[in-house]
Structure 1
Amino acid sequence: MAPTYRVLPLYLLLALSVLTACGRKQELAPMPGDLAAAPAALSKRADAGEAASAEPAQQRYLALTHRYTIESAPQRMRAVIDAHLQRCRELDCVVQSESFSSPANDSLPSGRIAVRVARKQASAFAAGLAGPGARVLRQVTDTEDRTLQVVDVEARIANLQQLRERLRALMGDVRSGVKELVEIERQLAETQGELDSLAAQRKVLALETDRELFEIDYLSQRSAVERGMLDPVRDALLGVGHTVAGSLSALITFVAGALVWLLPAWLLWRFLRSRRQHDQD
């Protein structure tokens, strides 16, 4: 067995190595707080990366059409229509059409208007349609997406504007000959014409997408007596119609059934008549 004084230095070196390794592990091991904060930091970095890579959402251009049916007393219908038109003008709207038929020959009055209201004022205008003397019977809203049309028109306008600027620059080039200048001027006129046409289309699209269309039909309100007065006449007319239809149906059935036997009977009668004449001869 080796002497103790020779083995002791080896034991001391081994112990020192173990203590050094443990110290390094403690330095590298993260604290519990660091472990809790690490996922949050990674999540923030990921969110920042997604936000940086995300593209801005494209603006949508929608054309909204509201269709209303409003019932009003016959004697107050004109006043109701005027009140709605006045409310429209207060909200800076555009009146596209207006019609009103006065009562004549026992007919009831009726009316119709079509107005375009700014989108931010549309809710206020719709809220004022129902009121004293006016009752909303029906309301439907249709939505049309005009985004593709608007984007296409704006892109074509931008391209033509660039072409117009290049043509104008060529017009000022002193090196261009007369023939080239005439051709450039012709192309410039065509480009300007297309630009004017596209600008008009863009204005129409802006009117449809920036303002909401309200189409309102006005019907006369009938009293309870008027609604029930003609019910017996209506029932009688319906009864007569059913009777006529039933009789016509029976007649058609009889004629169809008679035709089935009429042709064979006529052929038999012709045959017997020809035989009788032959026997007499």
Structure 2
Amino acid sequence: MPFAQSRQNPTSSFRKKLTYLAALSATALLLSACSPADNEYSVAQSKTVAPSPAGAPAMDSVVSKPEAQRRRSNNISAEVQELSRQAAPAPAAASPAQDAPAATAAPQRFLAVRHELQIEAPAADLAGLWGAVKERCEQLDCQVEASALQRETSHSAGGAYLTMRVNPRDFAMLTSAIGGNAKVLNHQTSSEDKTGEVIDVEAQIKNRSEYRDSLRELLREKDVKRKLTDLMEIRDTLSQVQAEIDAAQAQRKVLEKDTGKQFVHMQFQPQQVVLSGTYNPWLQTWERAWNAMAGSAQSMVIATAALLPVLVVLGVLGVICVFVFKGVRRSRKSATATATATA
């Protein structure tokens, strides 16, 4: 029994050493993966602290293979970083003030916006509301293009309208004058993108202006001798180009008017009063019968009045025909009597 224990002791000690060395190598590998700068120091320390015994020849291969793989991977990563550094262009030093406009700059759009409002108000307040909105427009960046007011009479209802051009930022302040007993029944908004037209007109103005300036430079050259026909042709071309520039500038002003301010049309109408009461079918029947009889009598009077001049003319012609017929008859009777007396 003591002999058996003495034979098992070298094997157990070898296994303990092998396990200890394997743990140290695993720790060294973990440390090399976490901090590449200390890999050589950690491997050397593991080798000096736990030298490999004669019975463990595989320890060098366990430590050397990860070390070779680490060095090879480090070399490859260093080469990749060097190539990427050489291929990448040097970053230009740009100030934030220069980058901010480039990031936030957006193409400007030119929109022609139209507002159509239908407003209802009590008949007594219609004229005052119309005047209040018109006065508010004169106080803002707004222009009244057309206006009309029709007061209520016994034969016609009242009404009014306003046509204006208002700055977009003042539209809310303009509509705030509609308060009180008035209410907006309908509000329609439409927009038309005229960015392309504006860009085309501005490009045309720029190109034709440059052409005009070049023609003026030709006329100012004194060293070059030209014929009178050439000078007249240059002047005619210059006049034509200037006319095209003036037409383009006029079109640009119209576009600026359409896109710079919004078109607003307000239609004011009196409030409709609905009378509530009990429903009586017989009353409505008699009312309809009376209205029908009154309408028929009205039609007869109108027809008689229309035919009266014709009847008068026909009566006069009839009286004339009767007198003529009587005269002819008398003359025949007298002629017959004379012929009988002579016989």
Tell me whether the two structures share a fold, i.e. TM-score over 0.5.
Answer: yes
Using the size of structure 1 for normalisation, the TM-score is 0.63
For the residues of structure 1 that align with 2:250 and 2:185, how far apart are their CA atoms? 37
Specify the alignment match of 1:93 in structure 2.
142
Give the alignment of 1:111-122 within 5 angstroms: 111-122=160-171
For the residues of structure 1 that align with 2:186 and 2:154, how far apart are their CA atoms? 28
Q: Does 1:167 align with 2:196?
A: no
Query: For residues 226 and 114 of structure 1, do their structure 2 counterparts lie closer, same or farther at Cα, with a shift above 3 Å needed?
Result: farther
Paired positions, count: 205
Query: Which of these residues, 162, 181, 193, is aligned with residue 145 of structure 1?
Result: 193
Contact preservation (8 Å) 2:165, 2:263: yes
Shift of 1:81: 0.8
Contact preservation (8 Å) 1:80, 1:133: no
**Per the alignment, in what secondary structure is the counterpart of residue 189 of structure 1?**
helix
Query: Which of these residues, 263, 268, 286, is aligned with residue 218 of structure 1?
Result: 268
Q: Does 1:79 align with 2:90?
A: no
**Per the alignment, in what secondary structure is the counterpart of residue 103 of structure 1?**
coil
Deviations 1:101-146 (A, max 9, x none): 12234311101111011112223323x1431132111111011111
Deviations 1:59-80 (A, max 9, x none): 2211110100001122221110
Specify the alignment match of 1:102 in structure 2.
151
Query: For residues 82 and 222 of structure 1, do their structure 2 counterparts lie closer, same or farther at Cα, with a shift above 3 Å needed?
Result: same
Shift of 1:179: 1.8
Specify the alignment match of 2:239 in structure 1.
189
Superposition RMSD on alpha carbons, in Å? 3.7
Matched residue type, 2:74: E
For the residues of structure 1 that align with 2:180 and 2:218, how far apart are their CA atoms? 67
Give the alignment of 1:258-269 within 5 angstroms: none
Query: For residues 123 and 25 of structure 1, do their structure 2 counterparts lie closer, same or farther at Cα, with a shift above 3 Å needed?
Result: farther
Specify the alignment match of 1:134 in structure 2.
182
Specify the alignment match of 1:198 in structure 2.
248
Contact preservation (8 Å) 2:136, 2:177: no
Deviations 1:138-166 (A, max 9, x none): 11101111112111111111111111111
Deviations 1:173-216 (A, max 9, x none): 12133222211111111111111111111111111111111111
Contact preservation (8 Å) 1:92, 1:117: yes
For the residues of structure 2 that align with 1:20 and 1:73, how far apart are their CA atoms? 96
For the residues of structure 2 that align with 1:155 and 1:232, how far apart are their CA atoms? 71
Query: For residues 187 and 27 of structure 1, do their structure 2 counterparts lie closer, same or farther at Cα, with a shift above 3 Å needed?
Result: same
Contact preservation (8 Å) 2:147, 2:161: yes
Unaligned segments of structure 2, at least 5 residues: 1-56, 78-90, 92-99, 293-343
Contact preservation (8 Å) 1:65, 1:141: yes
Query: For residues 222 and 20 of structure 1, do their structure 2 counterparts lie closer, same or farther at Cα, with a shift above 3 Å needed?
Result: closer
For the residues of structure 1 that align with 2:139 and 2:277, how far apart are their CA atoms? 37
Specify the alignment match of 1:266 in structure 2.
none
* Larger RCO (CA under 8 A, 6+ residues apart): 1
Specify the alignment match of 2:12 in structure 1.
none
Q: Percent identity?
A: 28
Query: Which of these residues, 199, 202, 208, is aligned with residue 154 of structure 1?
Result: 202
Contact preservation (8 Å) 1:119, 1:211: yes
**Per the alignment, in what secondary structure is the counterpart of residue 118 of structure 2?**
strand
Q: Which has the larger radius of gyration?
A: 2
Contact preservation (8 Å) 2:132, 2:177: no
Deviations 1:198-255 (A, max 9, x none): 1111111111111111111000113333999xx959x949x97xxxxxxxxxxxxxxx
